[in-house]
Chains A and B, each alone.
Chain A
């Protein structure tokens, strides 16, 4: 696992994430959100889970990012800028970050190097999904169907509404 690739991907992801969290213009923030997810997918590739990385690109950038930009379009009345920023959120975020980093460096067993593993093939994921994890698979399918129907009902206009 090369360090140069890790550093580049980390910088890309974190810069895009900070941009998504702090930019004033909504559209730019939504697009940097997509770039941040490209970075996270690259991390997954680096860690050897290529299938999850591809699913991430497919689901988040191909679907969730498009949903977000459509929603921004459908719900704007102003010039598209979000001017208010609550600084106490920064304090809380830094506190949480401090706590997490302290916990990470305090734990002894976490400073291991990566062991050599066989690459994880899609065939293996498919086999495991259908044998050990078939119940979660069906439940997630049911959940997605429920979410689909719920989202449709939420945005359906009533027949006799005056707007």
Chain B
């Protein structure tokens, strides 16, 4: 039994949900970023799987989207981590529950 497209999609859905779990249930800002990066990786896996299993995979569209997505994710990780450091310098905490200055 060779893996079908559905199996790949289920694996990437699992990875996405694990990333969602990390992003929703952790309180440390860096963990939330890790969760977001995992969700992006799961989406990339989806794109590549669809590209591979499509009838006309001569156009590498899925591959191109994945490459650009990786570049953008790296930029987002850099800026996100810079923000975490800046917030830590000001508030001395990385617990996102305690960043509630704007709460009404």
Distance, CA A23 to CA B63, complexed state (A): 32
With A64-B74, A155-B86 known as contacts, the answer to whether A86 contacts B24 (CB < 8 A) is yes
Contact, CB under 8 Å: B34 / A29: yes
Contact, CB under 8 Å: B53 / A115: yes
Contact, CB under 8 Å: B2 / A96: no
Besides A71-B81, A71-B84, A114-B3, 6 new A-B residue pairs in contact (Cβ under 8 A), listed by A number: A75-B84, A104-B9, A118-B58, A144-B74, A154-B82, A154-B83
Contact, CB under 8 Å: A43 / B45: yes
Question: Given A26, A52, A154, A163, which contacts B63 in the complex, CB threshold below 8 Å?
Answer: A52
Q: Would you list which residues of chain B between 1 and 37 have a CB under 8 Å from chain A?
A: 1-11, 13-28, 30-31, 33-35, 37
B104 in the interface (beta carbon within 8 A): no
B14 to chain A, nearest CB (A): 6
Distance, CA A67 to CA B85, complexed state (A): 11
Q: Would you list which residues of chain B between 49 and 104 have a CB under 8 Å from chain A?
A: 49, 51-53, 55, 57-60, 62-64, 66-68, 70-79, 81-86, 88-89, 92, 94-95, 97
Could you say which residues of chain A place their CB within 8 Å of the CB of B17? 93-94, 96-97, 100
Could you say which residues of chain B place their CB within 8 Å of the CB of A97? 13-14, 17
Contact, CB under 8 Å: A143 / B13: no
- Interface size in chain A (residues, C-beta < 8 A): 82
With A112-B53, A115-B55, A154-B79 known as contacts, the answer to whether A92 contacts B24 (CB < 8 A) is yes
Could you say which residues of chain B place their CB within 8 Å of the CB of A89? 20-21, 23-26
A57 to chain B, nearest CB (A): 10
Of the listed residues B3, B9, B11, B13, the one surrounded by the most CB atoms of chain A closer than 10 A to its CB is B3
Could you say which residues of chain A place their CB within 8 Å of the CB of B25? 21, 85-90, 93
Distance, CA A29 to CA B58, complexed state (A): 39
Could you say which residues of chain A place their CB within 8 Å of the CB of B30? 26, 30, 68, 71-72, 75
Distance, CA A33 to CA B15, complexed state (A): 12
Distance, CA A155 to CA B82, complexed state (A): 6
Contact, CB under 8 Å: B6 / A64: no
Could you say which residues of chain A place their CB within 8 Å of the CB of B24? 86, 88-89, 92-93
Q: Would you list which residues of chain A between 35 and 51 have a CB under 8 Å from chain B?
A: 36-37, 40, 43-44, 47-49, 51
The residue on A at minimum CB distance from B29 is A75
Contact, CB under 8 Å: B70 / A60: yes
Q: Mark A107-121, 1 if CB is under 8 A from B, else 0.
A: 000111111011010
A114 to chain B, nearest CB (A): 6
